[in-house]
Amino acid sequence: MIGAGAWGTALAIQAARAGAGPVVLWARDPAKAAAIAATRENPRLLGIRLPDAVRVTSDLPRDAGVRLLAVPMQRLRAVAALLAGSAPLVCCAKGVEAGTLCLPLEVLAEACPHAPALVLTGPNFAHEVAAGLPAAAVVAGALPAVRAAVTARLASPTFRLYGNDDPVGAQLGGAAKNVIAIAAGAVIGAGLGENARAALVTRGLAELGRLAVALGGRSETVMGLSGLGDLLLTCTGAASRNYTLGVALGRGESLAAVLAGRSAVTEGVATAPALVARAGAVDLPICRAVAAWLEGRITLAQAIADLLARRLRDE
């Protein structure tokens, strides 16, 4: 497990729970690795003890059978460049790389061309997975045998995994939901009501469907765990960093102040402009409004007015 944040630690715990054998949890910072190893607890998952099968280290593992990368999207390329060998890579990051506009698996294809790569995505909060609460996710990739091998190592009675052969659609669901969640939070923070949030999330799903098909994914993927499922969780859950960012901004707090008070990355902030740029001419009014608002080109009031003033048409 590459990355000892909340999600990486939760997946290391889940791998041990699933009986995957010895699990290595890698943290870049030696002091952080030593602290987690000594206490058997990650401060981001308080009260949840690491199983004995999980070994924590700052030395990058070289002989793993499967490597999961749970690092922020904007750091994925740098971390992947440290890896060698042909063991399968499972990307657990969601978003679009700023600058290159690459999706996670495109980054891995460039950084680790000799390793088959998949994406693990879906409606999952780290603390719930770590605690063993029921959850489901998708393992998306082109090779059925590799999907099956990864699923066998991670699945357990409380963590149900589904294979998927549409990694493009699965990745776009994970990226777009963070942007739409910021908008959903802003609606609640600004006091616009539950009706407005439900309408926004539904139209956001329509945007995701158009985007997935335009970029080579399938519309049915959007209706699964990596699309609708992840969107519902991220746009309503109080543990969602993107949703709570939107709530704070909707209440009038500044973006800089909110981000300064957080230790974890809020992926939707960097993803919004990158996703819009990658989309090209695809009609994404909500995502485009969020990107413009976060960049300070329009106000929240202007974004809301522009969305409500769009031409009336059939659904």
Asked whether the beta carbons of 140 and 170 are under 8 A apart, the reply is yes
Cα–Cα distance, 300 to 191 (Å, whole number): 12
Options 77, 127, 177, 197, the catalytic residue: 177
Q: Is 32 a catalytic residue?
A: no
Asked whether the beta carbons of 277 and 166 are under 8 A apart, the reply is no
Q: What is the DSSP string of 298-310?
A: S-HHHHHHHHHTS
CB neighbours of 208 closer than 8 A, spacing ≥ 6? 172, 173, 176, 177, 180, 222, 227, 231
Cα–Cα distance, 221 to 209 (Å, whole number): 9
Residue tagged 């890896």 (tokens): 83
DSSP letter, residue 45: G
CA distances from 236 to 79, 232, 244 (A): 31, 6, 9
DSSP letter, residue 311: P
Query: Which residue from 252, 266, 303 is spatially nearest to 182, judged by alpha carbons?
Result: 266
Asked whether the beta carbons of 88 and 97 are under 8 A apart, the reply is no
Q: At what angle do helices 267-279 and 194-214 cross, to 10 degrees?
A: 50
CB neighbours of 286 closer than 8 A, spacing ≥ 6? 179, 180, 183, 200, 203, 204, 207, 307
Q: What is the DSSP string of 160-176?
A: EEEEES-HHHHHHHHHH
Query: Which residue from 233, 252, 1, 248 is spatially nearest to 128, judged by alpha carbons?
Result: 233
Active-site residues, by number, are 177
